[in-house]
Structure 1
Amino acid sequence: MLQWVRSILYIVQATVMMPVVGLLYAPWAMFSLNGAYAACKAYSRWCIWTARWLIGLRCEVHGTVPQGEVLVAAKHQSFLDIMMIFNALPRAKFIMKKEILYTPIIGQYAKRMNMVAVDRGKRGKAITKMLEDVKSGRIEAGQLVIYSQGTRVAPGVSAPYKAGTAALYEQMAQPCVPVATNAGYFWPRRGLYRRPGLAVVEFLEPIRTGLTKEAFMAELETKVESASDTLLRDAGWTPVDATPR
């Protein structure tokens, strides 16, 4: 019962802090891309820090965090893994649903940071434009983050890896850094309860360029799923925990 109370208090304060941080940084963010990134990193760090002392959830990033221009293909289980990845990368650019642009605060900052908002079925066109803008210098390069399964997937639930990641890998001709996580065990897709423990985002060894689409997708899925399952088992997850909340 106490953990339920702590979980609800955590969610309330995190929700309140989002517009507070957004408004405090707004003057800087309007005139500087650095300001927009600083605002979102400040909010992410606040949520990560308060999770430690309020709900007993520690967050760690393992592996080598990429610094240059690269494709990052991540496992997506929770809003927590978004914040951890964003906070870890110097200049993360997420591929996201277009609908997110219309959400308060998050949408405005996503636009300011040139996140790649796509309509379902038109992702290739949006990514092509983004790459052209980077090459021309119209927008700043960074680490392009894609969730290969296209949505949040709870621990223990199977979902196919989308072919769009392979198309992007081929188009960018850059190494791809896979990312595993166990965040969904502690911070589920649905529900208010937050488990105490250690949430991890792990940057794995890059997948080299030049692979066929089939070979790339096979290696990506094997690496991400295997590492994520290991992190989940280390956290104490069992298949019975996979029941949606």
Structure 2
Amino acid sequence: MITALRSLAFLIVFYGGSLLFVLSAMAAHWVAPGAVQPIATGWGRFHRRCARWLLGQKVRVEGELPHGQYLYIIKHESMFETIDLLCLFHRPAIAAKRELLDIPLWGGLARDYGLLPVERSAGASALRALLAAARKANTQGRPICLFPEGTRVPHGEAPPLRAGFAGLYALLRLPVVPIAVDSGRVSPRGHFLKRAGTITYKVGEIVPPGLDRKDAEARVHAAINALNRLPDRP
């Protein structure tokens, strides 16, 4: 019952508050487009506070999270890390499905913010568009973040990496920081109920540029799945 009440409170407060952030971002979109990014950062912090104080979800980072010219590859288990990256990094350039950027109004805000478009069915042309956007973000000093599985996966599952990672890794020639996350234990995909607990980010060893594709993929795959079998934390 407590979990249900907490989840309901989160639903009301977070999504109600998010509407205010969207309206603010829409106003900024027309008046001062550059203001969309700090509004997005504020939204990410608002989300983390809601998760902490309404759901009882704490955040812990294991290992040293480097900041600089890196390609960050993150495990994807729930909506939590999608928004929480705005707290982990300063103005992260996050790869997102192209369909999201085509949503009326919201898509314009996403473009102003600088999300990186990923079009799964367009093959080489999609990779070129993603690479161009990633290179632009890199020249702006923004961290580049990619969820290499392409979609949220249940905690404990370890699907193969999609081709987008190998393409960016080979063409950007940046060192890779793989990050595991176990958010699916407490906020599973498609479930209304969200449980209290600690969500852990585990930073893996940096993967240097220039490795053989299979070697790079194997290292990243192992690192982002490092939390798969850990027991629940209080």
TM-score scaled by length of structure 1: 0.85
Deviation string 1:176-221 (CA, Å, 9 cap, x unpaired) is 0101101111111111101001112233231111211011001111
CA gap 1:167/1:106 in 2 versus in 1, 3 angstroms? same
Question: Number of aligned pairs?
Answer: 230
- Residue 67 of structure 1 corresponds to 67
Matches within 5 A, 1:1-245: 1-28=1-28, 30=30, 31-33=32-34, 35-103=35-103, 106-122=106-122, 123-131=126-134, 133=136, 140-226=140-226, 228-229=227-228, 232-235=230-233
Deviation at 1:105, TM superposition (A): 6.3
Deviation at 1:29, TM superposition (A): 5.1
Deviation string 1:103-156 (CA, Å, 9 cap, x unpaired) is 466533311122111221333121232255458x6xx34111111111101112
Amino acid in structure 2 at the alignment position of 1:50: C
Amino acid in structure 1 at the alignment position of 2:212: T
Amino acid in structure 2 at the alignment position of 1:130: A
Deviation at 1:234, TM superposition (A): 4.9
RMSD: 2.2
| Worse-superposed segment, 168-177 or 23-32 | 23-32
CA gap 1:88/1:29 in 2 versus in 1, 3 angstroms? farther
Deviation at 1:26, TM superposition (A): 4.1
Q: Which runs of 5+ in 1 are unaligned?
A: 237-245
Deviation at 1:25, TM superposition (A): 4.4
Deviation at 1:84, TM superposition (A): 1.9
Q: Give yes or no for contact 2:62–2:200 (8 Å, CA) kept in 1.
A: yes
Q: Which runs of 5+ in 2 are unaligned?
A: none
Q: Distance in 2 between matches of 1:28 and 1:17?
A: 17
Q: Distance in 2 between matches of 1:143 and 1:28?
A: 23
- Three-state SS of the structure 2 residue aligned to 1:10 is helix
- Three-state SS of the structure 1 residue aligned to 2:120 is coil
